[in-house]
Structure 1
Amino acid sequence: MSIIRNKHHKIYSGIKISFYLFFYLLILGSTSYIDLPFNYYLEIFVLRSCMLIYSAIAFFVIFHLEKRPPKDFGIICRMTTMKHLVYGLCMGAISILFITGILFLSQQAKLEFSWQQPIFSTNILYILLLFIVVGIDEELLIRGYMIHTLGRYNTTYVVYLVPAIIFGALHLSNPHVSVVGFINIIVIGILFTYMTLKTRNIMMAIGFHITWNFFQGGFFGFNVSGTTTEAVYPIILLKDNLWTGGDFGLEGGVLTTLTVLLVGLLVYYLPLQKTNVQRHHNTLSHDTTYKRAT
């Protein structure tokens, strides 16, 4: 048996993903040495946009090398998938509003100023654009490439767990990372995978990812995976515990765990109209993965 190719005479998905991830991290790491004469948030936005461009080029190459169209990776832009995107955007925003409301009611957080004193600046716009780019880029990498590559010849458990663990590992270098935070990132990754398999495209995961990050950081000023940003309504945490998540942000708290589980139930019961994705004739395992998810 070949150590490179599986019984279908295809290169093992793990090898493909390892190479893709290696070059992705290599380019991501190289951007940290680039110093642009920009505002901090604009600089980060530009550098992450470069990563998105890299992802787009990488996918273009993959489409031609593997002779698989974008829809085989869940990249579908049509009316149905735009609805999925809107669902994701709404659920991400409402989730953070829900968690914040509980923290307010339990007197574990408060506004730094008041509801009548929102802070608007060009930095908030850059932060929004940054989270849009990050959401698209990371979902192309994890839910776009990884789960659709693993899903062709691997079991459902592999499709759910491996990308989610890699997604969590990508956040281990973030400031103030905690055990609960790491676990929550994995749980969120599993939710994003479920969204992708349920809808057969990555648009809902992208939408949720964007507003989940922006409403944490750019709107309320919670740390996003340990990273601090400016905000429209800065929040002051009155307590540092397992509910608030401490310096890692909401993702380090058990409220996030419970909220993500609730969102998973909501997605399960949503009467979502699936896209009609025609997959390759030999992707039986991939088809089974989709069926089990629904």
Structure 2
Amino acid sequence: MAGKILLSFVLPIGAMVIVGIGYAVYIIATGTSMEEVTIKIGGARWTQYMQTVLFIGSAFAMYAWFERRSKWSLGLRQTNGADLGIQGFFAGIVLMTLSSILIWAAGGMKWEATEWDYTLLNSMVEGFILYSFVAFSEEIFTRGYIQGLIKYHYGSTTAIIVSSIIFAFMHSMNPNMFETPFPFINICLAGILFSVARELTGSLRWPIGLHLSWNFFQGYVYGFQVSGTEPVPAVLTVTYKGNTALSGGDFGAEGSYMASFVLLLGIIAVYYLYRKKKR
């Protein structure tokens, strides 16, 4: 099983390295310096989309090659999938809004409204599309394939814990991930929240919806950085005032202990709400 998980990472990462090298060789041949090459590849939006597509492809390929006969589900075939996706989406809005308000109320930051213009609208449309890809990619890979695989061999509890830790380590290269303990803790807690929802609803639609709205509202509405990524034009502009453990600092709201509290509440709420429905 560990070999399958490792291979599921090697496939997309290997493909990204090959494409990156090929692209670098091409633009160096046009006379571009190595410094400019690094900037172009690192900051290019197409590399983010390519990464999401490759991880989606890896999940489906690994399932088709090794798991199809096992008959366990990736979590994409539900008659009420649209309803679950909408429920998850609104849950993400509630949880991120509560996290943001608690940080603000505790003096961790202040907000200023941004003037509405074409730049802001364009930013929000691009952000929604990007985080739709991110949500589907990370959920189908970690909750769909990895959690499903571990559950098949070791049961639900182990699958929830291990897949959530793997999910957190997938963000270990993000800027400021280890500036304080809270970014890693909160990514683990978010992974547990997504995993519990996937387990109790039997569907990836709920965690996909929550993942999308959590990231989108964090970055493009409330103005935080999302998991250490660069700030973007947002509805509200954030100015940090408190210490990093409170405000989240350059990692975003996910780096705040207020988010830890809200995520724990979310896990408890999802467990009790959807456990009854599953029964």
Given the two structures, how large is their TM-score scaled by the length of structure 2? Answer: 0.82
Asked if structure 2 preserves the Cα contact closer than 8 Å seen for 1:135 and 1:206, the reply is: yes
Instruction: Specify the alignment match of 1:72 in structure 2.
Output: 73
Counterparts of residues 13-92 of structure 1 (less than 5 Å): 13-29=1-17, 34=23, 43-44=44-45, 46-65=46-65, 66-68=67-69, 72-78=73-79, 80-92=80-92
CA distance in 2, matches of 1:227, 1:200: 31
Asked if structure 2 preserves the Cα contact closer than 8 Å seen for 1:92 and 1:209, the reply is: yes
Counterparts of residues 83-122 of structure 1 (less than 5 Å): 83-113=83-113, 117-118=115-116, 120-122=120-122
Q: CA deviation at 1:74?
A: 0.9
- Residues 150-185 of structure 1 deviation map (CA, whole Å, 9 limit, x = unaligned): 111114342122211111111111111122211111
What is the aligned length?
A: 258
Instruction: Specify the alignment match of 1:287 in structure 2.
Output: none
- Residues 34-78 of structure 1 deviation map (CA, whole Å, 9 limit, x = unaligned): 589xx999942x333333433444344345433349971112253
Instruction: Specify the alignment match of 1:234 in structure 2.
Output: 237
Q: CA deviation at 1:254?
A: 0.8
My pick for the range that moved more, 121-130 or 188-197, is: 121-130
- Could you list the runs of 5+ residues in structure 2 that have no partner in the other structure? 28-39
Q: Looking at secondary structure, tell me which structure has more helix per residue.
A: 2
Distance 1:60 1:194, change over 3 A: closer
Q: CA deviation at 1:235?
A: 1.5
Instruction: Specify the alignment match of 2:191 in structure 1.
Output: 189
Asked if structure 1 preserves the Cα contact closer than 8 Å seen for 2:108 and 2:242, the reply is: yes
- Could you list the runs of 5+ residues in structure 1 that have no partner in the other structure? 1-12, 275-293
- Residues 121-154 of structure 1 deviation map (CA, whole Å, 9 limit, x = unaligned): 3122112211111111011110010011111111
CA distance in 1, matches of 2:243, 2:102: 15
Q: CA RMSD, aligned part only?
A: 2.8
Give percent identity, aligned residues only.
Answer: 25
My pick for the range that moved more, 220-229 or 97-106, is: 97-106
Asked if structure 2 preserves the Cα contact closer than 8 Å seen for 1:216 and 1:224, the reply is: yes
CA distance in 2, matches of 1:203, 1:41: 30
Distance 1:105 1:32, change over 3 A: farther
CA distance in 1, matches of 2:162, 2:171: 15
Asked if structure 2 preserves the Cα contact closer than 8 Å seen for 1:108 and 1:244, the reply is: yes
Instruction: Specify the alignment match of 2:138 in structure 1.
Output: 138
2:50 maps to amino acid: C
Counterparts of residues 150-189 of structure 1 (less than 5 Å): 150-178=150-178, 179-189=181-191
Asked if structure 1 preserves the Cα contact closer than 8 Å seen for 2:109 and 2:241, the reply is: yes
* 4+ aligned runs moved over 6 Å, structure 1: 39-42
Distance 1:134 1:237, change over 3 A: same
Q: CA deviation at 1:25?
A: 2.6
